[in-house]
Amino acid sequence: MILEKGRRVEVSRQDDILKRMPEDICITLEQGYIDVEIVVSALDRLSQKIASGAYDHRIAELVSSRADTYKNQAVRMMCRENIEFKVRTELGEDFFAPARTRPPLGESTIQVQPMPLGVLLHIAAGNMDGLPAFSLIEGLLSGNINILKLPQADNGLSIEIIAGLVEIEPRLGDYIYVFDTPSSDIATIKTLSLMADGIVIWGGEAAVSAVRQMAPVGVKLIEWGHKLSFAYISGYEDQDRELQSLADHIIKTDQILCSSCQTIFLDTEDMGEVHRFCERFLPILEESCQKNQSESLGIRADKTLRQHFENINRFLTGNDNSDGAFYQGAGCSLSAQTDSAPELSNMFGHVRVKRLPSKNIVSALRPYKTVLQTAGLICLPEKRESLSLALLRSGVVRVTRGGSMSELFSGEAHDGEYPLRRYVRITNIE
Amino acid sequence: MGYRAKLFLKGSPFETSETDALFLSAMKENCNYQYLHCIEYKKILDGLGITPEAIRSFNQLSDFPVVPTLLFKHHNIFSMSKKRMLIRATSSGTRGKKSEIGFEFSGLLFGASMVYKIAAWRHLLSLRPCNYVIFGYKPHRGNTAAVTKTAYGSTFFAPAIRRKFAILYQDGKYGADIENIVEQIIELSRSMFPVRFMGFPAYTYFALKIMDEKGIHLKLKKGSKIMLGGGWKNHYSEKVDKETFYRLAERVLGIQDIDIIEFFGAVEHPILYCDCRYHHFHIPRYGRALIRDVDTLEPLSYGQVGLLNLLTPMVYATPILSVMTDDLAVLREGETCPCGNKSAYIEIVGRVGLHDIKTCAAGAENLIKEALK
């Protein structure tokens, strides 16, 4: 399915569309960039439409277990207040308004004219429902024409949201193209990238390096790579509640998000403490697992199969943590490990538990600086500030509470940057 | 004669419950061999605390370590020197990772005996020459995928006059040429010999649909057959309703549903499952199937949906004696099928995971769409 000028078009007509796109894009650019206010008001109306239940059926069929959470999140994120807040936070007031420089010492002045990059090609990942639409919306909010390549695993939610948006505001049609071309169709992606001023890539190393190879020289690459997150525990304010909410976070996100907890670090050098933690935490994790069990046999089978694979694979890969141990629970597991590396877990209810004394935070995490994202910090209030700073200095870009690692905070940066800033350029006119 | 040889060389293919004891002995025989010759398998057995001796009764069949097929995608696991392995076949991993499974001479020999017996049971063997149309990949040196081999292998059930392939290897990649194959079919229909079709269901359906839309309706010679395989995994989503397919085949080619035969099998479980006259996959004596609970992996009884675990002692070169597929299936009692075969049959009802995982057949579907542009 292709979305072109607000119309859904069969894939068989892709070649025609690709042929006329460069000219169509030029015509759109000649007419000027989209007014951000048009985008904001369309999003606000879409938000109301979602709130009124127009998409309930769709959302429920995609994410049956967490439909309500998804719906509320979408409604909140797209309402006028939040969108305006986001634009203001990321770009500042009247970002696109031209201004003249007033340099010191009588140097000559020039007009500063911030502008959208022009055309963004979004190559989206499929690990989070609706993320492709979200990427495109950010492109619109910064005034760009957007070409979106859907991930293969996309379940249709993104195209639904985008089509809904154009239906509400047909003027957006010229600024949105959506393709569900498979990633293997390099020729098409190459053609699309020739039309772009910037390529926004979501995904793992393989996806990013593939795009780097085929991108035309000089095009701006905006990478949102895969990141790794962990929890850090150094004492508790309310142990039961904090461990419970960390467990819920782990189970509810299936640990597939960049912000999902993969490893739990304990502020200790003592492996004995690591083992005691596992014994205490495992039943909490099990309980959360039971509480949040999916109704879909396919999803449950998938998790069981992954765990089974990991259990068998463990015998082959061996365990070089001679002092380590594996704690198997129902539907979840913990492995106690002796090293201090932030590592991807086996996901779907499996977490690594490691020791990391607070004095070693920076030196132990530094080698992983390019992949670190969120640290879910559980600690005594008096330690929060110093531990947060140590974590951030090691390369982490986001420190939250243990249970809210994957929560969305209005106005927050993404992987250390404001996305809208990456989608614009600063031009000058003498 | 070893237990495995007895299981594969003797008797008729659907004496399944009758051979339970023999099957167990052959499994233990194989398991012992793996324990002594396969470091990885020994580690798994030791890790799980299982010894082949401890498995005494047929009810304990579920105690053999169930190896997920994914494991073969992460490790090359072989139980004999490469010299002794006659072929190494790969699964059609469209997501990058492929399993590599080795087959030794004796295993292949037993496999051949099995294929022969099952083909005879389904009346596929004939001395009358025929033309073959293969809706699959034309073999070429770089293609070790098992589907290519089996599709090609099936063209020996009856002497082949000509073989036509729908997916050709050109300019370093595979591409579908449906238009061309449709012309070939029309030409073959004028021959005095029957035509046999073999390949992915998606392709076959597509070609028939194109012919139907173009108003091409043929009456192929008696003895013409359609054999489907390599794509059973996408059947559950019922992109092509089977009944629709049978009607289409009759309308376009004049082939009746009794002459439409479906196979399934996997590199990691090379037992030939062939459907009966009522299109059910009865379990032959060469393999067993267990359905396991999606949460606990405990074996389930008839009628309950779970993960499909397939067992066979056929191969020694790789420890594939008990593998876990990523399919959701149900086991039905043989008596519920009117064909008279008493052996239980497997019904595939789905696949693990939230989204459709692309199979090689789905990949093929993309190739067709490309060819039609």
Residues of chain B with C-beta less than 8 angstroms from the C-beta of A314:
47
Claim to verify: residue B367 and residue B235 sit in the same structural domain: yes
Does B278 map to a domain?
no
Give the count of beta carbons closer than 10 Å to the beta carbon of residue A293. 15
Q: What is the pLDDT of residues B259-291, one digit of tens each?
A: 999 888 778 898 989 999 999 999 999 999 999
CA distance A58 to A53: 10
Does A409 map to a domain?
no
Claim to verify: residue A270 and residue A208 sit in the same structural domain: no
Look at residue A124 in the predicted model and tell me its pLDDT.
85
A61 or B38: which leads in pLDDT:
B38
Look at residue B97 in the predicted model and tell me its pLDDT.
64
The answer, for A305 touching chain B at a CB cutoff of 8 Å, is yes
Look at residue A53 in the predicted model and tell me its pLDDT.
86
Query: Chains A, B: CB contacts under 8 A, how many?
Result: 79
Claim to verify: residue A362 and residue A314 sit in the same structural domain: yes
Does B74 map to a domain?
yes
Look at residue B168 in the predicted model and tell me its pLDDT.
66
Mean pLDDT rounded to a whole number for chain A: 90
Claim to verify: residue A31 and residue A19 sit in the same structural domain: yes
Domain of B165, in residue numbers: 118-265+357-372
Claim to verify: residue A353 and residue A425 sit in the same structural domain: no
Does A220 map to a domain?
yes
Domain of residue B211, CATH code: 3.40.50
Claim to verify: residue B222 and residue B367 sit in the same structural domain: yes
The domain tally of chain B equals 2
Claim to verify: residue B9 and residue B92 sit in the same structural domain: yes
Facing residue for B43 by CB, picked from A153, A308, A315:
A315
Claim to verify: residue A136 and residue A211 sit in the same structural domain: yes
Q: What is the pLDDT of residues A159-199, one digit of tens each?
A: 888 999 999 999 999 999 999 887 777 888 899 999 999 99
Claim to verify: residue B331 and residue B363 sit in the same structural domain: no
Domain of residue B88, CATH code: 3.40.50.12780
Claim to verify: residue B228 and residue B362 sit in the same structural domain: yes
The whole-angstrom distance between A313's CA and the closest CA on chain B is 7
The whole-angstrom distance between A152's CA and the closest CA on chain B is 9
Does B279 map to a domain?
no
Q: Is B168 left (phi over 0), alpha (psi -120 to 50) or beta?
A: beta
Cβ-based interface (< 8 Å): residues of B facing A: 40, 43-44, 46-48, 65-68, 70-71, 74-75, 294-297, 305-307, 324, 326, 328, 350-355, 358, 366, 369, 372-373
Look at residue B145 in the predicted model and tell me its pLDDT.
59
Q: What is the pLDDT of residues B167-224, one digit of tens each?
A: 766 666 666 677 788 888 888 899 889 999 888 777 788 788 888 988 989 999 988 9
Claim to verify: residue A135 and residue A258 sit in the same structural domain: no
Give the count of beta carbons closer than 10 Å to the beta carbon of residue B56. 10
Look at residue B372 in the predicted model and tell me its pLDDT.
41
CA distance A139 to A133: 10
Claim to verify: residue B249 and residue B186 sit in the same structural domain: yes
Does A309 map to a domain?
yes
Claim to verify: residue B124 and residue B235 sit in the same structural domain: yes
Asked whether A167 and A6 are in contact (CB, 8 A), the reply is: yes
As a whole-number percent, the residues of chain A with pLDDT over 90 amount to 61
Helix then strand count (H, E) for chain B reads 10, 15
Look at residue B317 in the predicted model and tell me its pLDDT.
93
Domain of residue A94, CATH code: 3.40.605.10
The residue-averaged pLDDT of A111-119 equals 96
B229 or A66: which leads in pLDDT:
B229
Does B275 map to a domain?
no
The answer, for A153 touching chain B at a CB cutoff of 8 Å, is yes
Look at residue A203 in the predicted model and tell me its pLDDT.
78
Look at residue B150 in the predicted model and tell me its pLDDT.
61
CA distance B272 to B274: 6
Does A332 map to a domain?
yes
Does A249 map to a domain?
yes
Claim to verify: residue A19 and residue A146 sit in the same structural domain: yes
Does A112 map to a domain?
yes
Claim to verify: residue B77 and residue B153 sit in the same structural domain: no
Claim to verify: residue A39 and residue A82 sit in the same structural domain: yes
Look at residue B356 in the predicted model and tell me its pLDDT.
34
Locate tokens 């070169």: which residue?
Answer: B317
Claim to verify: residue B205 and residue B133 sit in the same structural domain: yes
Q: Collapse the DSSP code of A225 into the 3-class scheme (helix H, G, I; strand E, B; otherwise coil) and give the result.
A: strand
CA distance A144 to A192: 15
Does B60 map to a domain?
yes
Domain of A366, in residue numbers: 228-404
Look at residue B164 in the predicted model and tell me its pLDDT.
82
Which of A 15-44 lie inside 8 A of B, CB atoms?
15
CA distance A24 to A77: 31
- Provide CB contacts within 8 A for B229, sequence distance 6+: B147, B150, B151, B154, B198, B199, B200, B262, B263, B264, B265
Contact B68 A315 (CB under 8 A): no
Does B281 map to a domain?
no
Does the pLDDT value for residue A397 go beyond 70?
A: yes
The domain tally of chain A equals 2
Facing residue for A298 by CB, picked from B297, B353, B369:
B353
Claim to verify: residue B57 and residue B164 sit in the same structural domain: no
Does the pLDDT value for residue A395 go beyond 90?
A: yes
Look at residue B207 in the predicted model and tell me its pLDDT.
82
Q: What is the pLDDT of residues A119-166, one digit of tens each?
A: 999 998 766 667 888 899 999 999 999 999 988 767 677 888 899 999
Look at residue A328 in the predicted model and tell me its pLDDT.
84
Q: Give the per-residue SS3 of B98-156.
A: CCEEEEEHHHHHHHHHHHHHHHHHCCCCCCCCEEEEEEEECCCCCCCEHHHHHHHHHHH
Domain of residue A272, CATH code: 3.40.309.10
CA distances from A38 to A84, A137, A141, B59, B200 (A): 12, 12, 9, 68, 49
A31 or A67: which leads in pLDDT:
A31
Facing residue for A309 by CB, picked from B70, B350, B353:
B70
As a whole-number percent, the residues of chain A with pLDDT over 70 amount to 95
Claim to verify: residue A333 and residue A422 sit in the same structural domain: no
Q: Collapse the DSSP code of B161 into the 3-class scheme (helix H, G, I; strand E, B; otherwise coil) and give the result.
A: strand
Locate tokens 């012992």: which residue?
Answer: B32
Locate tokens 């090359």: which residue?
Answer: B76
How many Å is the maximal CA-CA distance in chain A?
Answer: 74
The answer, for A410 touching chain B at a CB cutoff of 8 Å, is no
The whole-angstrom distance between A127's CA and the closest CA on chain B is 11
Does B280 map to a domain?
no
Look at residue A220 in the predicted model and tell me its pLDDT.
95
Look at residue A246 in the predicted model and tell me its pLDDT.
98
Claim to verify: residue A206 and residue A91 sit in the same structural domain: yes
Claim to verify: residue B250 and residue B127 sit in the same structural domain: yes
Look at residue B153 in the predicted model and tell me its pLDDT.
67
Claim to verify: residue A85 and residue A125 sit in the same structural domain: yes
Give the count of beta carbons closer than 10 Å to the beta carbon of residue B65. 18
A225 or B24: which leads in pLDDT:
B24
Low-confidence ranges of chain B (pLDDT < 50): 94-95, 232-238, 354-373
Does B23 map to a domain?
yes
Facing residue for A302 by CB, picked from B306, B324, B352:
B352
Claim to verify: residue B169 and residue B103 sit in the same structural domain: no
Confirm whether pTM is higher than 0.80: no
Closest to A284 in 3D by CA, of A238, A343, A329: A329
Claim to verify: residue A92 and residue A216 sit in the same structural domain: yes
The whole-angstrom distance between B122's CA and the closest CA on chain A is 33
Contact B297 A308 (CB under 8 A): yes
Q: Collapse the DSSP code of B285 into the 3-class scheme (helix H, G, I; strand E, B; otherwise coil) and give the result.
A: coil
Q: What is the pLDDT of residues A312-347, one digit of tens each?
A: 988 888 655 556 788 888 888 899 999 999 988 877
Burial group, residue A325, by CB count within 10 angstroms (0-12, 13-18, 19+) = middle
- The amino acid that residue B157 corresponds to is F
